[in-house]
Structure 1
């Protein structure tokens, strides 16, 4: 029986401690959402689902959820189309051009979101899209785009380009070759990019604060407003809803990645 490396054991313990430090405060919103009292107490002295009932019967909360889904789906669609086209172009570019354009594509991950938000606020006001669902989706797609470019780019890096030449030799046109050869090969990266784009849009707060309006108030913004007015367990219910959506999509991505490696 092989003895385990003490250094590896210590690193695993430290990793578990750090992970618990990061995750446990987030998971605390789940029991908090079942508080029977009118204020948040952890652990709850009593358990009740009345705050879930209030959340599901409140038209403003439901409207914010619907708006978040609409914005996230629109932003995801835009970023998937544009990000896939960008990744395909980068795969054919020279190393110098690829490095420069990739840096530009990843800028939304590097530049502080507050700076991007201010720039988008004035831009959206200029074109009359500030406060609209589509304007908010456009802003979110800027933050979602890097995730699609990165994930599709990884899939393209593993793609055998001779398959395209073989398809062309058999008479397949560019569009048909993309649909039958390239698209199935990059599908895992495409799916992962879309999932991360949806999560990014659905959870976004800072940029949304600059672009929201009466007709475009997302769930995180509604949650922020609720906390400023009254910090009741219904806010924990909204936080739990965001957490559940994020965890489900992340789990689907991981399952899809494992199946793709089999």
Structure 2
């Protein structure tokens, strides 16, 4: 046996060592990047979900004011919503009516806009599309204030009608976006085939286009309905004394005396929203239209 054996590393040439170390470094880089992104995602999820969890837990308090953690637990405030809160029920019905009407009008206007602009490449079409989507980039407070100034210049008093117009302005971009995405994914040869067979534009839209983009319309309508129902800023500027929607009523309850019923209403809305999201995901595949 030799007295000074040759180290194993010396038997590996420099190019071979580089070939081994490069995949190892690349693997470590990918794992470290995934670890950092995973930790940031976990922190973001906690920050987003923690307020919701706190509100739901607080809604089951047995006390008479909003306090976390609760001193005791009870479902008394959920019972009070149905037995002793007619003003909240009226506000809920008004919000549902407002959201439904604004969503219906927005669907008609937004689908027409998407059909006219989705497949066009001209500069004016892209400019109009950016104009229709601009409410998504502007603060809702600025939109509400600007609409209030516009109605004042037109000498139009605040009413339920002005409230509907304001909500149409803020939820239409969602429907335009999802409908345009569905139109761009549609095979244009289907429309050309239908037209070549002598079908009219209305018949083609009813039998070919509408069934293919219906899921995109439903996804946008659902998002728009929830955005309208939950809106505070525009409703605060454009509603009159007789049109007090549920978010504003809840805000006043919390501002005045920290009423626990506001947390109970939030718990109901969170539950209903989750159920509606699951149903709409099964029916329309919302996540596919938000990518």
Q: If the length of structure 2 is used for normalisation, what is the TM-score?
A: 0.82
1:78 paired with 2:117, answer no
Deviation at 1:178, TM superposition (A): 0.4
Residue of structure 1 in register with 2:251 after alignment: 224
Which of 156, 159, 163 is equivalent to 1:131? 159
Q: Deviations over 1:183-236 (max 9, x none)?
A: 111111101100110011011001110111232111100001111111021110
Residue of structure 2 in register with 1:42 after alignment: 68
Which of 268, 271, 277 is equivalent to 1:250? 277
Change (3 A) 1:129 1:80: farther
Residue of structure 1 in register with 2:222 after alignment: 195
4+ residue segments displaced more than 4 Å: 258-261
Are 2:61 and 2:70, in contact at CA under 8 Å, matched by a contact in 1?
yes
Are 1:36 and 1:46, in contact at CA under 8 Å, matched by a contact in 2?
yes
C-alpha separation in 1, matches of 2:178 and 2:80:
39
Q: Deviations over 1:101-138 (max 9, x none)?
A: 11101111122222221222233454645132x32121
1:173 paired with 2:190, answer no
Which of 17, 20, 37 is equivalent to 2:43? 17
1:52 paired with 2:75, answer no
Q: Counterparts in 2 of 1:78-117, with a 5 A limit?
A: 78-117=105-144
C-alpha separation in 2, matches of 1:187 and 1:205:
29
Are 2:119 and 2:184, in contact at CA under 8 Å, matched by a contact in 1?
no
Change (3 A) 1:258 1:103: closer
Deviation at 1:247, TM superposition (A): 3.0
RMSD (Å) for aligned C-alpha atoms: 2.2
C-alpha separation in 2, matches of 1:111 and 1:221:
21
Q: Which runs of 5+ in 2 are unaligned?
A: 1-26
Deviation at 1:237, TM superposition (A): 1.2
C-alpha separation in 2, matches of 1:139 and 1:110:
16
Moved more, 159-168 or 109-118: 109-118
Number of aligned residues: 259
C-alpha separation in 2, matches of 1:259 and 1:122:
37
Deviation at 1:87, TM superposition (A): 0.5
C-alpha separation in 1, matches of 2:129 and 2:181:
13
Residue of structure 2 in register with 1:62 after alignment: 89
- Of structures 1 and 2, the larger Rg is shown by 2
Deviation at 1:258, TM superposition (A): 7.4
1:185 paired with 2:202, answer no
Are 2:110 and 2:173, in contact at CA under 8 Å, matched by a contact in 1?
yes
C-alpha separation in 1, matches of 2:286 and 2:81:
36
Moved more, 189-198 or 158-167: 158-167
